Chain A
Amino acid sequence: MIALLDLFSIAAISAGTFFFLAGTVGLLRFPDSLTRLHALTKADNLGLGLVALGLIPHADSALSALKLIVIWVLVLLSGGSTSQLIGRALRRGRK
């Protein structure tokens, strides 16, 4: 059971770091700000979500597991909202 949980953690965190890596590559390689924004949100949403998911089996208590989820949800909220704000600033700049 423990080994199975460890395996799950390794798989989830590896997948999470893959998204962070892909997001970083996109941030550096994509041609304009809107596509870079797209790359960034993948890292934030999926990458952090998977890392948090992988850490949950190793949390000390149910409360710290819940805190991990809360952190992810807060990052989702702020990430989504700031992308909207940056996107609007870009659209205004173009006009």
Chain B
Amino acid sequence: MSLLPILDVVLAGLVIGVAIFTITARELFASVVGYVAYGLLLAFVWIRLYAPDVALTEAAVGSGVTGVLLITAGKRLGALKNAAPEAQPGFAFKLLTGVLAALVASALGAVILMLPDPPPSLAPEAAAAADGAGAGLGNPITAVLMSYRSLDTMLEKIVLILAVVGVWSVGTDKAWGSAPAPLRQQEPYAPMVFLAQMLAPVGALIAIHIFWTGANAPGGAFQGGALLAAMWMVTMMARLTDPPRIDTQWLRVALVAGPAVFLISGLAGEVVAGAFFAYPPSLAKPIILFIEAFMVLSIAAALPMLVAGPPSERPD
């Protein structure tokens, strides 16, 4: 098979080409489209590196949800531009920004070049640990995420909640507690409604499948949650449903459910299995799936709320 290396080189070249296009595109929208294409190409790169779990996450979060976030942000920026005359940053400011960016880039490059050979890795240790505590899970990635690095995984979800709180706090005092503005202002459009009605049930089913299969095969809570979030966003874009008020009880419970259940299980592990975030080996799989189910819920609630934006004052 001498064809695959050529394909890999072409793929790598494409990634770099699209990355350059994304940075140099003059128009914001073109840049965002370039970024989404870049994310999808990166997903292919991960597949070629035999990391389907990362590829799924990249496609769902890095390209899909981030793409929607960026398009929405771009639209809001456009609205701001029309409202206020734009103050052009001075030359010194631009120079300083450029120098800082170059410094960060070269520092990152230097760190990578200075890596000892072989690079330090916790992978063998993690794989061994996954065999122990996460026994019963066929997917070592999920085992590592949920039992070897469980604190990291929990803190990731807390970061998501903090991000939602940050977005909400941008709204005015008067709007606090009300719902974010609908994702689309115009009337429902028949093809969009059709797409949402056909896709959302199937997508939700696939999301649950990806979460469930994540115990034994590529997949998992984040990928499933992101897909579920996307389905909620599609129905909101079709105006089949509007964003909920941010003081709704169920929304807040859904947001904190994942980390809360994770933390409680971790504390229970201290009592039952003798260590924080340890699970009794015989029950590891059901406990991990139980925690992950709530994390799916939290992710599916948090991502659309990030896209929907701060609460709006308009009574709609």
The chain A residues found within 8 Å of chain B, CB to CB, are 74, 77-78, 81-82, 84-85, 88
Contact = CB atoms under 8 A, between A and B. Distances in A.
Nearest to B238: A81
B202 interface: yes
A81 B195 CA distance: 6
Interface in B191-226: 191-192, 194-195, 198-199, 202
B199 A85 contact: no
B189 A88 contact: yes
A51 to B, nearest CB: 16
A55 B189 CA distance: 36
A84 B189 CA distance: 10
A77 B189 contact: no
Contacts of A77: 195, 198-199
Most chain A CB within a 10 A radius of its CB, from B191, B194, B198, B202: B191
Interface SS of A by simple majority: helix
Interface string B180-196: 00000000010110110
Contact size class for B? Answer: under 10
Interface of B: 189, 191-192, 194-195, 198-199, 202
Contact of A85 (B192, B198, B202): B192
Nearest to B198: A77
Contacts of B195: 77-78, 81-82
Contacts of B194: 81
9 contacts: A74-B199, A77-B198, A78-B199, A81-B191, A81-B192, A84-B191, A85-B191, A85-B192, A88-B189
Contacts of A74: 199, 202
Contacts of B199: 74, 77-78
Shortest 5 CB-CB contacts between residues of A and residues of B: A81-B195, A84-B191, A81-B191, A77-B198, A77-B199
Most chain B CB within a 10 A radius of its CB, from A74, A77, A78, A81: A81
A36 to B, nearest CB: 14
A5 B194 CA distance: 37
A74 B192 CA distance: 15
Nearest to B191: A84
Nearest to B194: A81
Contacts of B192: 81, 85
A78 B202 CA distance: 12
A37 to B, nearest CB: 13
Given A77-B195, A78-B199, A88-B191, 7 more contacts: A74-B199, A77-B198, A81-B192, A82-B195, A84-B191, A85-B191, A88-B189
A6 to B, nearest CB: 18
Nearest to B193: A81
Contacts of A88: 189, 191
